[in-house]
Amino acid sequence: MSRPRAGETRTFERTFTVEDVQRFADLSGDDQPRHAEPDEDERVMVQGSLTATLPTKPVSDSEVLASTTEFDFHRPVYTGERIACRSTGESVAERDDRYEFTTDVVCENDDGETVLTSTTDGIIWKEG
């Protein structure tokens, strides 16, 4: 793992499927009709908790051990909707054995509308 730097940005995209929503409903018990019954476009609304998994990808890629994550949900996400997320390292404090790290994530749909923002605080252990 290279030294993290404030201002570094990572991007990724995700499109949830009806099968993703069904599997998450089975796992979480969040099987409200809006997550199970398709709308006129054959889409279902993705559970908020499943949507909240989006920031875990860049945090995991950075090897962050999260201590807190705060979410703000701005719009619902639907199956088949491509969501692009941008993670930006906001602060890095170096300690003897670790880096204390804060990252912000902004996720937008194809219309450029923000669907989710989050902030994660955590640590990245130094190697060896």
Domain membership of residue 101 as a residue range:
9-16+47-125
The reply to whether 100 falls in a domain is yes
- CATH code for position 104: 3.10.129.10
The reply to whether 99 falls in a domain is yes
Write out the chain's pLDDT in tens, 128 residues: 567 788 999 999 999 999 999 999 999 999 998 999 999 999 999 999 999 999 988 878 878 899 999 999 999 999 999 999 999 999 999 999 999 999 999 999 999 999 999 999 999 998 75
The reply to whether 113 falls in a domain is yes
- Rounded CA separation 30/36 (Å): 10
The total number of structural domains that make up the chain: 1
Q: Element (H or E) spanning 59, and its range? A: helix 56-61
The reply to whether 85 falls in a domain is yes
